[in-house]
Amino acid sequence: MTFRLIDKKKLQALEQYIPTETLKELINPDIDMEDHIADAKVNYATPGLDTEAEVIVAINATNTTINSILSALESYGILRST
């Protein structure tokens, strides 16, 4: 599937004449909204990462979020699959 980015001004102009939901269907008829990807934790602190195991768990959680984002981008055809 190929995607074409639409200039924001052009999109706003189209929205004056076409309902937003219809416009979304015309632009991407085959794509349903994905589930929310878990937010990456950003407030790690030294007391919470006392052991090597805790650091590894934190890194794995961040990597899981990154992989979910990459997977979504690949499924939308924005990135090539590996």
pLDDT digits 0-9 by tens, 11-48: 677 777 877 777 666 665 555 556 677 788 878 887 77
pLDDT digits 0-9 by tens, 42-77: 788 877 788 888 888 889 989 998 988 888 888 777
Q: 41 with 29, same domain? A: no
User: Cα–Cα–Cα angle for 71, 72, 74, nearest 5°?
Assistant: 65
Torsion of CA 64, 66, 72, 76, to 10 degrees: -150
Which domain covers residue 3, as residue numbers? 1-33
76's enclosing H/E stretch is none
Q: 43 with 56, same domain? A: yes
Residue type, 72: A
Give pLDDT, residue 26.
65
Query: In terms of pTM, does the model score above 0.85?
Result: no
Q: 12 with 44, same domain? A: no
